[in-house]
Amino acid sequence: MTDAERRAVISGIGQSQVGRRLGRDALDLTIDAALAAIADARLTVAEIDGLATYPGGVSDFAGFSGPGSPEVHDALRLSLTWHSGGAEGPGQLQAVVNAVMAVSMGLARHVLVYRTVTESTAQGNGRRSGIGVGSGQVDGSQQWLIPFRAYSAANWLALYAQRHFHEFGTTPEQMAQIALNARRNAALNPPAGFRTPLTLDDYLDSRMVSSPFRLYDCDVPVDGSTALVVSAAEHAAGVDHPVAQVEAVGTALRGRPSWEQWPDLTTMPARTSAAHMWSRSELRPGDVDIAELYDGFSWLTMSWLEALGFCGHGESGPFIEGGTRIALDGELPLNTNGGQLSGGRLHGYGYLHEAVLQLRGEAGARQVAGRPEVAVVSNGGGPISGCMLLTRLA
Amino acid sequence: MKDGDTLPESPQRVLPAIEGPSAFFWTSGADGRLRFLCCSTCSYFVHPPTSYCPNCGGRDVAPRVVGGRGTVYSFTVNHQPWDGSADSYIIGVVEMDEQDGLRLMTNIVDVAPDAMRIGLRVEVVFEDHAPIHLPVFRPVAL
């Protein structure tokens, strides 16, 4: 028990209302999630001494960031010994990793972590806008993307998927399984945004966004806030439900942190994050009971399956073929709440929330049988990359 | 390519700033030639441009003309009207002949989406937004 991770547990989780065009203020949603997580951790607001969020308060992309940590800090009148908010780090999970480090160092004892989005309300009834559209000019890393009308991660990652299809013979029918699996699981998850049945024909008939990505390969903007409390491990004895222990985090980004300069576009920096995570644990892919893997685009989930070693490089297409292996009753239940494709784009934290629910046995109709003990959560695509192994602590 | 062989201006573009170490890249096409930053010590091309050669550690770098030909490493046909324009267009990653991994994201033009394929041989052609000349690529004429 020398690894820093194991000095921290996720003692509580909470989520606000989640949905399309809620028209509610981001801070209001965040307070809902935060109070729920604090109560679930059997704490009071006054006991929270740490605060962390991703990406912190940034205002240049509508509805993306949620409130900055000072807003939440002040609204709840917190008294903090440590706080952090920012976007540069191991994906969206960096806020959780930061919290784990702060707890392990003794800088804080109970860290409230949150991620809030109001992208659906911000989008309104219009279509999703591209990054950089309407700006006078672009500089920094975006100058290599936006002038070529590559306005979206849909474009940047389509280039990865296309190369994967080219080298390994991956097919749309295989990739569809990520979307179809998500929809099947969402049907058992009442808060999920999209629960009507989806067939392979529906998928193949849907409009192309950026080849090979069709509409159903892309996640759906929603409004909602997810919060959790990362506590010193001793606090596990202070709650009356199982808690999730952070077994290991994967924060590595070995290689160029760039969408287009990453050398092998059939892989992502996820490979290095995953290898790093496994290097910090004695658990192996075969020990994982449930996988909650980022599906901002369906191909990302395939790439994470390969990165994490559930199948070999290039083998994710055959691995998910037919969908039985990744179903709730399959050998590797995947994105059990519907992911972001059918559950809504909570930008990484929906997976965390679901993993903890599953480990606690509280996932209702979609609860994976056999009392899952080990869950893996991954976030991000391209140079945005982080992952985490969680275990159930009785 | 020949002088004056440029494409019409496309109104949808958000253009790069032409300040700092990348300015030469965006204005290079004024004479019809594409340039990348190159290490004066070991001749390694450094892209995106920075004043440090990751190959030899050298700090002396300068723009160098390249032949303008390369190979499509990957591509996507975009259909989503992100910028309000309903036309579909091709985004590609092109690897230049001069060096393994010397690549850029760009547009592939003068080719039907159905005819696009990875491995296509392409050459640079500049879209005129003077003083910016945006490097896009078209199939090499056989």
Q: Which pLDDT band, with edges at 50, 70 and 90, does B3 fall under?
A: very low
- The mean pLDDT of chain A is 95
The 3-state secondary structure of chain B reads CCCCCCECCCCCCCEECCCHHHHHHHHHHHHCCCEEEEECCCCCEECCCCCCCCCCCCCCEEEEECCCEEEEEEEEEECCCCCCCCCCEEEEEEEECCCCCCEEEEEECCCCHHHCCCCCEEEEEEEEECCEEEEEEEECCC
State residue A124's pLDDT score: 84
**pLDDT per position as a tens digit, B9-56:** 555 799 999 988 999 999 999 999 999 999 999 999 999 999 999 999
The shares of helix, strand and coil residues in chain A, as percent rounded to the nearest 5, are 35, 20, 45
Q: Which pLDDT band, with edges at 50, 70 and 90, does B2 fall under?
A: very low
The Cα of B41 is separated from the nearest Cα of chain A by a number of Å equal to 23
How much of chain A exceeds pLDDT 70, in percent? 99
Q: Taking the domains of chain B in order of start, what are their residue ranges?
A: 20-139
Q: Is the pLDDT of residue B80 over 90?
A: yes
Here the tokens at position A179 are 């979307």
State residue B1's pLDDT score: 40
State residue B7's pLDDT score: 57
Here the tokens at position A247 are 């077994």
Q: Is the pLDDT of residue B5 over 60?
A: no
A–B interface: beta-carbon pairs under 8 A: 122
**pLDDT per position as a tens digit, A188-218:** 999 898 999 999 999 999 999 999 999 999 9
- The mean pLDDT of chain B is 93
List residues in chain A touching B: CB distance below 8 A: 127-130, 132-139, 141, 143-152, 154-156, 158-160, 162-163, 166, 207-213, 259-261, 263, 265
State residue A1's pLDDT score: 39
Q: Tokens 């998850």 sit at which residue? A: A189
Calculate helix-pair angle for A298-307, A153-168, nearest 10 degrees: 60
Alpha-carbon torsion, ordered A9, A15, A20, A25, to 10 deg: -110
State residue A169's pLDDT score: 98
* Domain architecture of chain A: domains with CATH: 4-124+221-238 (3.40.47.10)
Residue A141 in contact with residue A80, Cβ under 8 Å? no
Q: Which residues contact A138 (CB under 8 A, 6 or more apart)?
A: A132, A146, A147, B14, B15, B16, B17
Instruction: Identify all chain A residues contacting B101, using CB atoms and an 8 Å cutoff.
Output: 261, 263
How much of chain A exceeds pLDDT 90, in percent? 91
State residue A2's pLDDT score: 47
CB neighbour class for B134 (10 Å; exposed up to 12, middle 13-18, buried from 19): buried
How much of chain B exceeds pLDDT 70, in percent? 92
Q: Which of B79, B107, B136 sits opposite A210 (nearest CB)?
A: B79
Tell if the CB–CB gap between B76 and A211 is shorter than 8 Å.
yes
Q: Tokens 């550690």 sit at which residue? A: B57
Q: Is the peptide bond before A263 cis (omega within 30 degrees of 0)?
A: no
Beta-bridged to residue B124, according to DSSP, are B137
Tell if the CB–CB gap between B118 and A150 is shorter than 8 Å.
no
- What are the residue ranges in chain A where pLDDT is below 70? 1-2, 59-60
**pLDDT per position as a tens digit, B96-117:** 999 999 999 999 999 999 999 9
Q: To probe the interface with B, which of A129, A131, A141, A211 has the most B CB atoms within 10 Å?
A: A211
Mean pLDDT of B54-68: 98
Q: To probe the interface with A, which of B28, B55, B78 has the most A CB atoms within 10 Å?
A: B78
- CA distance from start to end of chain B: 14
